Amino acid sequence: MYIILALLIAVAVILILQPWKRRGCRWREDRRALVDGRVLHRCAACGAELALPKGRQPTTCLAGQDDQ
């Protein structure tokens, strides 16, 4: 019984801390360009979305701003 409880706590801690968000963003360009000419970038790590002008790459992780 205590093992199940410990597992639940471990899962909760992992979900709260979300350590995968601290590794920085892995931005991927969405091939579908937006209407106004910007390109949508989606982070594979945290799911953040950012629309930037063509040719620009996002450099910061929207979820990891507390790291800096």
Interface ranges with Zn ion (CB under 5 A): 25, 43, 45-46, 48, 61, 63
As measured in angstroms, the least distance from the Cβ of 43 to Zn ion is 3
Which of 36/66 has CB closer to Zn ion?
66
Rounded to a whole number of angstroms, the minimum distance from the CB of residue 45 to Zn ion is: 4
The tokens describing 3, both together, are 């093992």
Beta carbon nearer to Zn ion, 19 or 37: 19
Q: Which two tokens stand for residue 53?
A: 């002008």
Tell me whether residue 39 or residue 48 sits nearer to Zn ion (CB atom). 48
Minimum distance between the CB of residue 12 and Zn ion, rounded to whole angstroms? Answer: 22
Choose among 62, 63, 58, 65: nearest CA to 29.
Answer: 58
Task: Measure the CA–CA gap between 41 and 25, rounded to whole angstroms.
Answer: 11
Distances (CA, A) of 55 to 51, 58, 63: 11, 10, 23
